[in-house]
Copies of this chain bind each other. A is one copy, B any other.
Amino acid sequence: MSKKVTTIKDIAERLSISIATVSRALRGSSDIKRETKLAVMEMAKEMDYHPNLLASSLSSKKSKILGVVVPTINRQFWSNSISGIENVAYDKGYKVMIFQSAESFQKEVEIVETLANSRVDGILLALSKETNTYNHIQSIMDRGIPVLLFERVCSEINSSKVITDDFNGSKEVVQHLIDRGKRKIAYLSGPISLGVCEDRLNGFKEAHKDNDLHFDQNLILEISDFTFEAAENALIKLWEMEDKPDALFCFADILAIGALEASRKLGISVPEDLAIAGFGNDDICRFVTPSLTTMSQPSFEMGQLAANLILEEINSEDDEHQPHHRTIKPILVIREST
C-alpha cells in the first residue's frame, strides 16, 4: 500500500540511460544534450518524480537551508527580523527554518545541535536570556558551520554580528526625557547579563553624565520576565518609593505597555506625572492611550542585513572568512506618552 516513490534510478531505467545523466539533466547541468534533458524532464513529470533532499544534501554537502533561532516568534521584533531574513534568503534560493528557544538555554543548545546535525548551510542566532556559556556555539563553528549572531549577541564568540546601537539609542531616549524636563528617570531593564541590556543601561548612565544628573541605582529595576504583568508589578513597586520617579524608560515595548496599564490603574497621569518610553516600536505602541514614545528598531532591515552577511560568508571561497560586525541605528519615535 505504501506508494512506490520514484527515484532518478527509475527514470534512468525507463529511459535506458545512466543515473548520472538523469542527475545532471535534472539539475540543469551544462554539458547535456537538449533532447536528453527534455526527455528526462518529461519523464520525471510523467513518473511524478520528486527529489529526495536528504539524499541530495547528504551527497552534495549543501542544503540551501538557513536555520534561524530566536527566543520567541511571538514578538514583533523577532517575527519582523525573520521576515527580513526570509526576504533575502528566498531571493537567493535559500529556505529558512525557524526555531524558538523559548528563552531556554537547554532548548537553544538542542536546536543548535539539531540544526548543525541536519547540515544546514548557516545558522542565524539570537541568544536566549539564560545563555551565558557558549560552547555549543563555538562547537558548531569549529565544525565549519557559519554562524551569525544578531541582536542578542556575546563577546565570547568571534562570529559575524548584527546589533542595534543600543548604547546611543538608549542615551537618546533618556536625553529626550531630560529635554522634557524630567529629572528622576527610572529604568526597567532586562537581565543585565544580556549584552543588549547592559548597553542600554550604559547609554542611560551616559545621558545622566552628559547632563550632570545624579544616577540613582534605586531607580533601576531588573526584571527577567518579559511580560505585561512583570512590568505592572515593577511600576507598583516604584510608586511605593518615597521619592517617586517622574519618568520611566523601559527596555522593551511590552514592558512599557504594562507600565502604562499599571499607571492607569494607579491613577498616574502620563506623561504629566510620569513620562513613559519604550524600545522597539511594536505596532501596539501606536494604538495604546496615550500612544507610546519608543525607539524604533528597524527589525526587518536587520534581518535582511544578517541574511546578506551570512550568505556572503557561506558563498565565500576562502576558508577563513573575516567576521563582520554591523550596528544599526534605531530611530526615536515621539508620541503622547512623553
Contacts and interface: CB of A to CB of B under 8 A. Distances in A.
A144 B2 contact: yes
A3 interface: yes
A286 B264 CA distance: 13
Nearest to A87: B102
Given A74-B76, A143-B3, A116 B50 contact: yes
A116 B54 CA distance: 11
Given A74-B76, A74-B80, A117 B283 contact: no
A53 B143 contact: no
A227 to B, nearest CB: 10
Nearest to A260: B287
A79 interface: yes
Interface residues of A, number: 55
Interface in A249-276: 257, 260-261
B287 A257 contact: yes
Given A82-B100, A83-B100, A97-B98, 8 more contacts: A1-B319, A54-B57, A54-B58, A73-B98, A90-B107, A98-B100, A260-B287, A261-B287
Interface of A: 1-3, 5, 48, 50-55, 57-58, 63, 72-74, 76, 79-80, 82-83, 86, 90, 95-100, 102, 107, 111, 113-114, 116-119, 139, 142-144, 228, 257, 260-261, 283-284, 286-289, 319-320
